[in-house]
Structure 1
């Protein structure tokens, strides 16, 4: 039986050989850039020295983690990471879902495509470009503050204001990624049986009823899957975005683990063991959050991702 199964597997591989060939670049990417670097995880338990390298450096057990957990800067960065990620989850995640549903309700196909292009375009701009745009708009001498000055409101430097900076991070990410996030939801909505909408119209359902009883149940499982995946990235609050936008005056509310690891790594005397320990802690925490979110979704009767 096992021999027959193995022959069947190889037969399918030969039959779909071109599809498997297209998978080779993806497999190589993950093997080289995702799995091979795991060899360096051992640095989290070593005191790195240049002469010995990764293999020759002495083992010190959990000293890097103990030292890390004693640092006030680490706990501040951890708090900022969780707060920023939670704000993005609560305030930012639903936007893509709502936007996809609204786009689906646009009757004119050409107008819908125009909206999709407008909403999706910012995704293809790097945070370097977007941060430059935001500096020109929101800095103390930017266009927005010039309008405020003319209106008699007074200037507000959003980029150095601790009270507004986190909201700036949330909504700038929404601006950049919400349109891109709608793609998977629009594709899911397109797979809903059109006869359901036709039957609802015959029964006298309005647009809200069609969204509530047809569109939402049709995309609910995909939304939950995307939510679980985002929860699994809560310890990564957006390095490139924050690195290009923040400054020392907002470190207390914007310095996340990734930016803290970056500064520690490129310090005058870098401690690669300590920064590797921070990276390992972040990865393990993300994994725990992912499994927890998946477990909770199953408790509520959803399929989850595993």
Structure 2
């Protein structure tokens, strides 16, 4: 199933999600498209819950994104790098009441880094490198949300701790050097350090037409794996911190089974730290999103 068919499938599933459970005031269902500075396309995100009864539910989520680094020059190397990422998430079982819910999540992430380039050396070396990462994670999450001022003010705090994480890596490298082709392959499995995710939301209903609010997230994602370079095994250890601040407008007109249209603008700050050579890359990007939300 290609990305477009997945996008259509999950959009339809989200719209019909109210058929899978009772309407309550303790969870969220939504579908959005997000575009950041270095993303090549809009990135889809969706989540919908399935209620078992008033207090117990499960849920399904999906997201994907593609971004690139072009004409990057370091160590006398010029290259183009494209990264694609898909994330599948499932709430195994969760408990909820009006203000608090918690449970266990399972997550599968597929990341593919494709890189082509050449070195400024006397042999005119060119290369094609593909690294595929399959990441399995298990987490415990805790969410608190509440309405104030006769339900005109909404506050939410979400914390997710990934206590188990494992990475399977597959590498294929083709090097064209001095009219010869060299092929390198490598497979490895590595356990990961603990990572976590934080989310804070504040919304205020200005009128019967729309609400405004702020959404802040903090994602700490360490990544460790092995790769082969010139017949040597090297360790890759990175810490990626992503902070996102988005101002959002929710239009209070129900569409498609009580979903409300939303639009958001904001910034995304990334810090990618290499723990081996003690270097880091910092970036700031604009973020734009549109979507449909149903807050129960």
Is TM more than 0.5 here? no
| Higher normalized contact order (CA 8 Å, seq sep 6+, divided by chain length) | 1
TM-score (norm: length of structure 2): 0.21
The structure carrying a bigger strand percent of its residues is 2
The structure carrying a bigger helix percent of its residues is 1
